[in-house]
Chain A
Amino acid sequence: MGRYVIRRLLQAVLTLSVVLFMLHYLMSLAIQINGNPVRTFFGDKPVSDELLQATMEKFNLDDPCLKSVGDPCWGMFTDRMQQWSHFDFGTDFQSVKIGDSIANAIPVTLTIFAITTVVWALFGVTAGVLAAMNRGRFIDYLVRIGTTFTLAIPGFLMLILVQNIFGVIIGNWFREQFGRESFLSLIFQPTYSAKAPFLSLVIPGIALGVFGIAGITRLSRTSMLENLRSDFVRTAKAKGLKRTRVTIVHTLRNSLIPVVTVIGFALGDALGGSVVLEGLYNIPGLGLLAFNGVKTNDTAVVIAVVALASVVFMVTNLIVDLFYAVLDPRIRYE
């Protein structure tokens, strides 16, 4: 397994370099075509050339390569990589250290992801298993219609409804009944609260989980159905094993392979953050960080966040592949 892991890691390094350079190139191209973002600091106000030049120097955006369209700006790229090798990710347009911004945003985004995953694992997989075990009966139809519903309703609309119904209407009722600092009042809030970082993320996390749940549920259902018909399950049943043992150990474990893959991929996505959710709930996570970076053409922020997301994506993919071996005795990496 060791050699396999090393080979994968080397591939990852190569992929990462390509990703980093492409990002750098695209962001530079955006500046070359759309003009220097420093100009927007002054808005509609007239600004003297001297002040504009001094401000560009301050934010390291005075390289002449940013004026010729298509120039790959190698100098800026190597400078940035050198900085990175000392774990210095530079500062954003607010003069904040990007390393700090990311360190603050990761726990928040991971908390949401954790809540979402729990929702998927508890409700998604369970619903899928139940539907498969009761194929063609009421519960199966209920699960299938339910998942279609979560896919059909536009996410943004649903989030606004959740915010207003759970955060404002129900939340206000709890606040009147039990006081502002009570447990339920802190959970049912319309936006993220720094006073209750975990509790205020529960509802948005669940809401996000409900959206992705259709895929997990359908996948577990199909996968279960397939395995229920397989030879080894029949053998297990013929051996007279208990029904729960057959279901959980023999069928479910094998059915989880595709599910784990999907959750692994979702973690990579989650690290990019849900821009819509974080924007609406004012959650200071990675999604909003990257989104605002793109909006203001803040290259340093965008590259740092996307680099992080790619690293996590590749590591989770590796972990997912290794998990296959745990779940399926036939898979081995030698």
Chain B
Amino acid sequence: MRTKRVMSAIAVAAIAGLVVSACGSGGDDAGSGSQELNLGLGEPKNLVPPNVGESEGGEVTRLVYSGLYTYNNDGSLKPVIAEGQPTSTDNKVWTIKLKSGWTFQNGEAIDANTFKKAWDYTVYGPNANSGSYFFNKITGFADTQSGADPDGDGPQKGAEPKAKELSGVKVVDPTTIQITLDTPWVVFPALLGYTAFYPTADACRAQIEACNEAPIGNGPFKFVGKWEHKTSIKLEKWSDYKGEQPSYQKLNFTIFTGSNNSQWAPFEAGSLDIAAPTPDKYESAKQKYGDRMIEADSPSTWSLGFPSYDNIYKDPKVRQAFSLAVDRQGIIDAIFTGRGKPLATFIPTMIPGYTEGTCATYCKTDPAAAKALLDSSTWPKGKKVELWINSGGTGEKILKAIGDQLAKNLGVEYEMKNIEWNDFLQKKQDHKLTGPFFTGWQPDYADSENYMGPLYYSGAKDGSDNDFGYYNADFQKLMDEGNAAPTIAEAHAKYTAAEKILTETLPVAPLYTGRTSTVIGDKIDFKSVDRNPILGGIDFVKIKLK
């Protein structure tokens, strides 16, 4: 009996061993001293440039890849691989000259053909690249998209695209690319600095999954090893880079997957060199690091969207009354401790094409005028306002504050409709939201057109092809004229006129732009910090370490 118990003890230990044996992991060599920059980052979704749609992926790809252009701090194009600015005689056919001698980090040469092949891959429907819509004004884009699903309801795949190549992109010679648009558009060059237009190597597209894990770039930095998912991304200077080289050797991103706020403690402990304080630490951070804190307005705008497709909100007077009943500064003070800026335009200040005070009439707080407007509108008395929002974000607090202000200033009752994010987005797109909703916009390119065209321009007369169900023939006409204008200045004049129409008919009530605060650690020479107000990021190549 004694032996039996010993045996079973051994058996137990053996089974336990099976479970536990996966233990143990390798340590990295402890990097030393001042030649490396340590930053925090959220887990990127993707690192293949045409598929990068969010800021995390953008931050890494802009360091590992280089495109034709990047942006100066005023939003204008700064040539990188391109030689000079894009040229055009009619704003329809654009010619871009390239510098020669550029290569990828695997030695592959970069010429006009590289870009054509990369862009053909980007737009081809079945590749499902999230950046493909940047190309939708180029001739032949529609032919590269998958057709509609035969029975409209899966599971069959959509029809094969008609074309594998984007016919509007031509290689004239190895250093010249020609891009033809469907219609003239003077703003087009503003798109060219975006990551969707970055080149990818043949070797990368041949094994796109592998290239996502260990990118074959052409930028100032190259990958060390692979993307350690949810843990880290390690970069080092690529010494064969033809453009501006960093003055230090290594850049390490530690990936944070928990709450967004978890980067502040490691910054205070010196493991990160740049970080944003959490809202509750903001005041103490300002006191402690005041002269090393950069505060800047963000180019993202936040608004209260109206369902113009809904009979009740069809009347612009209702929308104007709601806009006048909202106390924007009050919301910013209460929810962001004053860190934000009320919006009295549709375009934020740092964007080319911004004009001051376009929405001065309706983007202010005037309860008396609001009440009068509502009384003279088609608003059904006693109707409960339904406010739609995705649950679990700051938006809930903001919309609740707006609801309270509407109740106080207009005497209406309100009800919060909190739903899941995917549900919210789908209902918004399907015009199923039955009341005002919270909506945000992050620009794709630095031009006032981007804050209006993609959102409120409708080809259909009932506005069924935008989320707001908004249609206005005058607005449409002015946007068209702006797009076809011969110069940027003339285009901006038209866009401003179009914006004026929006400020009177209010498809959304502009609310505020956020403000970011970033603290720069003492390892970094503060004078070398150059923050681009439009990209919203710091130029890590220019940073100098002490």
Contact = CB atoms under 8 A, between A and B. Distances in A.
Given A54-B126, A315-B15, A319-B16, A35 B422 contact: yes
A282 B425 contact: no
Nearest to A61: B154
Given A41-B130, A282-B258, A292-B257, A312 B12 contact: no
A44 B27 CA distance: 41
A67 interface: yes
A83 to B, nearest CB: 17
A46 B43 contact: no
B352 interface: no
Interface string B21-33: 0111101101110
B31 A195 contact: yes
Contacts of B19: 312, 315-316
Interface residues of B, number: 79
A322 B23 CA distance: 23
Interface stretch (B178-186, B261-269, B342-350): B261-269
A110 B146 CA distance: 46
Interface residues of A, number: 80
A90 interface: no
A237 interface: no
Contacts of B439: 44
Contacts of B132: 51
Contacts of B44: 94
Interface stretch (A17-25, A126-134, A162-170, A211-219): A162-170
A40 B425 contact: yes
B291 interface: no
Contacts of A238: none
B420 A34 contact: yes
A138 interface: no
Contacts, number: 207
A41 B9 CA distance: 52
A261 to B, nearest CB: 14
Nearest to A311: B19
A250 interface: no
Contacts of B66: none
A2 to B, nearest CB: 10
Contacts of B262: 191, 279-282
A319 B5 contact: no
From B5, B11, B132, B265, residue with most partner A Cβ within 10 Å: B265
Contacts of B20: 110, 114
7 contacts: A35-B420, A48-B133, A50-B158, A104-B230, A180-B270, A189-B266, A191-B262
Interface of B: 1, 5, 8-9, 11-12, 15-16, 19-20, 22-25, 27-28, 30-32, 43-46, 53-54, 125-128, 130, 132-133, 145-149, 153-155, 157-158, 209, 212, 228-232, 254, 256-259, 262, 265-266, 268-271, 419-423, 425-427, 429, 439-442, 444, 454-455, 466-467
5 tightest A-B CB contacts, nearest first? A279-B258, A190-B265, A54-B128, A34-B420, A35-B422
